[in-house]
Amino acid sequence: MIQASYKKYILNFKQPSGTSRGILKTKETWFLILKSESREGIGECGLFRGLSIDDRVDYEDKLKWVCNNINLGLEVLLPELIEFPSIQFGLETAFKSLESDDVFELFPSKFTQSEAAIPINGLVWMGDEAFMKQQIKEKIEAGFSCIKMKIGAIDFQAEVSLLKSIRNEFSSKDIELRVDANGAFLFEEALETLKILSDFDLHSIEQPIKQGQLEKMALLCEQTPLPIALDEELIGVFNVTKKHELLQTIKPQYIILKPSLVGGFKGSDEWIELSENQNISWWITSALESNVGLNAIAQYTYTKKSKMIQGLGTGGLFTNNFDSPLQVKNGTLKYNRNTNWNIERIQH
């Protein structure tokens, strides 16, 4: 018999972080803890208020329901949680953790053996020009060969001049540049904006216009001078037929998978299979989870053997994150087996 409980946890940002949805100072998350006779498992339900499709008033009720019905098992529970992708992710992780000899080694690999690393992009948060410039400098000095910059919140000309200043110093062979608009541009201006941005030899732009405008996004992807990656567009698309239709309609150059937002490992696997069948490339991104969720996503990502630079977080944004073996070195995420976990704050 398995016993299940859950716990809410508020992550505090070291410094307020700007996105096109506003300034983030805290991030709410939930942990699912499973116990059997001799084992324990933990998973993180990475709810993202304002972005997750499961940002609903009955979220905690659903967690209670999962705990009360935990012995139905994963196969029965997952389909019942189709509208709660972050709980699906937490549940899959918790069961993997419970079944594992090591609570935190969910997908044993060269990554978890500290023999291989995952190349990741360095994320530059929105802010005034000086702040963004400082972050770019720090990322380059830290050895990142790919920088992702959030755009669409400050003055567009200032953002263009930042991109220009990077390109004046580093070619696309030296530094890969990705931009994320979080749906900030109007369709009427998007193509012109993409033409301006394409001068800087960018790798891609994420979600140039707001999600849910399928025909307009399809037109953009057809005419764009710059590869487009779908991100928010995938949120809330639950069944395989609808996923297939979305990719067939829009025909994006890339898709970006956030397991907490698209239904965990199973949901991500479905998107990967569908996109590869249509020759659409993909990469995986975390969504401000604590190190517990980031660890699960990183280990899963490594097993996928993608050649792309991934969008995994570094765990360094929060003052009250958990000590973990995850470390960032020279623009890669590594797993240092000699470092111990500390999740006391969840256990008490």
Our CA dihedral for 164, 158, 143, 294, rounded to 10 degrees, sits at: -130
Q: Are 188 and 159 in contact (CB under 8 A)?
A: no
Report the alpha-carbon distance of residue 24 to residue 55 in Å, rounded. Answer: 16
Residue in this structure with the two tokens 């993180």, named with its chain if needed = 44
Rounded CA gap, 321 and 158, in Å? 33
Q: Tell me the CA end-to-end span of the chain in Å, nearest whole number.
A: 22
Count of C-beta atoms within a 10 Å radius of residue 183 = 20
Which two structure tokens, joined as six digits, stand for 207? 């979600």
**Tokens of residue 236, six digits:** 């809330």
Q: Give the residue numbers annotated as catalytic, written as ranges.
A: 150, 258
Distance CA 192, CA 188 (A): 8
Residue in this structure with the two tokens 């517990």, named with its chain if needed: 292
